[in-house]
Structure 1
Amino acid sequence: MTPSRRFMGVVGGVGAAATGAAATALTMATRQRRHRDQYENEPLGQLPPDRVSTVAADDGVPLYVEEVDPADGGAADVTLVGVHGVALSTKSWHFQRRDLAALTLPRVRQVYYDHRGHGQSGPVTAETATLEQLAHDLHSVIRAVAPEGPIVLMGHSVGGMTIMALAEEEPELFADRVCGVSLIATAAGEVGARGLPKRVLSKYSPVGWGVGRIGGIAEWQPEIIEFVRAASGQLTKRAVRRLAFGGEPSETVVQFLLEMLDVTPVRELVKFVGTVDSHDRYEVLAGLKHAHVQVIGGDADLILPFSHCERIADELPDAQLVRVTGAGHVPQLEHPEIVTSYLIDLLQLACDTESKSGGKVSGKIGLRDEALRGLLRRWFR
């Protein structure tokens, strides 16, 4: 086990403090590492699962599922189910599955699956490209591979919307079994009203280079605009870096995201436009009251601005709101140390680790801690 994983397993998400020379050393070390690509040797998307299976959705469409057991072989205390965003796949949770497998307080069994029309799952039609159907698919996966025990749901972008749709369709599941929910870079409604600024949609933006071939910018919603192919039929690295990330992302991670996006054809993405545009589930958020909820977003997100996260937190006053400074639309890839750290907080709260660790885990972690969390994760890797 690497030093960072030992640190995460022992300390988890509990707040830490570092001052003076120690903080200065951490900052200098981090700045030095930023001059090189810290993920250039990371086996992105290549982590082998412990089990692979196919789950039949309610209409028979095959859904590709991967399971990851606790690394130490111990019995899991909770099952974490990751629900990815449009045009992505199970691979988008690379850093979380890597580090959470080593967690021992609590031990986590991880479940990841591909939406229909994505990755290795079956096809999607115009009629089944709805959040309601994606919610049914998520429920099918839960029934098949996590039929009992506590569950924490983690959803990114459309994955978060899918969780909200599931809460609307299956409220008893959230009252009885779902003990934690992490909503990452997502929205509960008004997706078309708050998104990419006009300057990004101009003729000088890489987004617009090949849009005419697809049908015009007006027909695209902010949720999927980042995935528009250029005139050659492929996304450009420049467009992905500009629209999906914040400040200075790892070039290796940018290329990794680009490769994921290239797998899903534009014709599949177009089918989801209507359901995202009509998504309005602010009232449904009340159904999450039985679970610990955290809302994570980047304040440089051009696709779904951080104001969406703030609005969700306004509707759920007990939720933990996490603002990841400088992060874009994929904070789990751009700043994995911070996102995973807060996920550990959520898992510990959901499993009530106070009784197991002998110390209380706070449900409200100050935003001032987030930079230090990132430094500590890099330092102890």
Structure 2
Amino acid sequence: MSRARKASWLAGLAGLSAVGGLAGSTVAKSLTRRVTEDDLHRDEDFELLDADRSCVVTTADGVPLAVREVGPEDAPLTVVFAHGFCLRMGAFHFQRARLSEQWGTQVRMVFYDQRGHGRSGDAAPATYTVPQLGQDLEAVLAVMAPRGPVVLVGHSMGGMTVLSHARQFPKHYKTRIVGVALISTAAEGVSRSPLGEILRNPALEAVRFAVRYAPKTVHRTRGAARSVIGPILRAASYGDERVSPSVVAFSERMMHDTPIPTIVGFLHALEVHDETEALTTLAKVPALVVCGDRDLLTPSEYSAAMAAALPKSELVIVGGAGHLVQLEQPEIVDDALVRLVERATPSKLVALTRRLRERARHRG
């Protein structure tokens, strides 16, 4: 490595701390009040998905995506979940736990880790884009749900994945994809949110340089992920101080385990993405748009704007919730997903199953 390149690389590593310092400057103060001794999920098994049927889907460019599924392979409906930035499929833990019981044999749920996240493979930094994520979703659908109706659920960057898929594969919608849920997301770049503090920091360019020219070294420095974006993600994740400490610890583990090349690559993708064209396609199907009213990363006005463009949508603004609304207020999100499936499914089998289970529960 040349002296000049080495100097730039060292500057990039130093920039990690600079980026993190600026990132947390406006919102990290709120972390101090988010402490509670009441932990309703102290004994929760957050690795529940690890016990489900597993397989690997290989993308067109050779990236292995880790996939889990629960429910009969011949279920009348498949619901596919795409997680957000710096997370993994476990971000839908509560949805998997409750909805698999509620939907029973009528629905198969499919979860997967996005490229560079969780147990999925790393990829070339140039492929860490929202359009590529839409193509990855198509690869998952081609293997896991080649036939039959599908509902897509995306949280944060996963919602952008769904939007990107709709723009690139519009013919699938209404014919096979019969409903979509967009949770804590935006149809275009989020540079106007507090996340923009990171995106506008000149030090981030130095970090990108380090990732490009010394990827192995940076990859091993996983702890520095907290310096890059950890403060703002932690502060923005939850809106209520009563959130379970075990849930907070679980989400922080997911963020901490995300490699720095993934973080840096997708930060740029979040800044420049524009999938507003997809809204025309999504207007054809029933939709659910959910957001917490304390979401600092994708504020509720983004969700309101999307819902206004989707005539078949239900808009749910969750009071007191932050960006990880599906972990913070899972019951509200789960109920909304049940309503979406009932609206999106031509037959009433799912709704009937729900009513029968609720009656049995009340009798018990």
TM-score (norm 2): 0.76
- 8 Å CA contact 1:45–1:91 kept in 2: the answer is yes
- Which position in structure 1 is the counterpart of 2:328? 334
Letter in 2 for 1:258: E
Is residue 233 from structure 1 mapped to residue 224 from structure 2 by the alignment?
Answer: yes
With over 3 angstroms needed to count, the CA separation of the structure-2 counterparts of 1:325 and 1:78, relative to structure 1, is: same
Q: Distance in 2 between matches of 1:310 and 1:357?
A: 27
Q: Distance in 2 between matches of 1:356 and 1:345?
A: 10
- Which position in structure 2 is the counterpart of 1:151? 150
- Which position in structure 1 is the counterpart of 2:165? 166
The alignment's C-alpha RMSD in Å is 3.2
Post-superposition offset of 1:132: 1.2
- Which position in structure 2 is the counterpart of 1:58? 60
- Structure with greater helix percent: 2
With over 3 angstroms needed to count, the CA separation of the structure-2 counterparts of 1:240 and 1:276, relative to structure 1, is: closer
Letter in 2 for 1:350: A
TM-score (norm 1): 0.73
Letter in 2 for 1:146: A
With over 3 angstroms needed to count, the CA separation of the structure-2 counterparts of 1:169 and 1:352, relative to structure 1, is: same
- State which of 33, 39, 42 in structure 2 corresponds to 1:40: 42
Q: Distance in 2 between matches of 1:44 and 1:97?
A: 11
Post-superposition offset of 1:355: 7.0
Q: Distance in 1 between matches of 2:183 and 2:279?
A: 15
- Which position in structure 1 is the counterpart of 2:75? 76
With over 3 angstroms needed to count, the CA separation of the structure-2 counterparts of 1:214 and 1:322, relative to structure 1, is: same
Q: Distance in 2 between matches of 1:356 and 1:282?
A: 31
Deviations 1:331-369 (A, max 9, x none): 00010111011001111111245477579x9xxxxxxxx
Post-superposition offset of 1:291: 1.5
- Which position in structure 1 is the counterpart of 2:138? 139
Letter in 2 for 1:64: A
Structure 2: stretches of 5+ with no match in the other structure: 1-35, 210-220, 356-361
- State which of 248, 251, 265 in structure 2 corresponds to 1:257: 251
Post-superposition offset of 1:47: 3.6
Q: Distance in 2 between matches of 1:89 and 1:281?
A: 22
- 8 Å CA contact 2:189–2:270 kept in 1: the answer is no
Q: Distance in 2 between matches of 1:327 and 1:59?
A: 37
Post-superposition offset of 1:178: 0.5
Deviations 1:3-32 (A, max 9, x none): xxxxxxxxxxxxxxxxxxxxxxxxxxxxxx
- 8 Å CA contact 1:37–1:251 kept in 2: the answer is yes
- State which of 241, 253, 269 in structure 2 corresponds to 1:275: 269
Structure 1: stretches of 5+ with no match in the other structure: 1-33, 202-206, 220-229, 362-378
Post-superposition offset of 1:124: 2.1
- State which of 285, 291, 294 in structure 2 corresponds to 1:297: 291
> What SS class does the counterpart of residue 87 from structure 1 fall into?
coil
Q: Distance in 2 between matches of 1:258 and 1:190?
A: 24
Greater than 4 Å deviation, 4+ residue runs:
211-217, 236-241, 353-359
Tell me the percent identity: 37
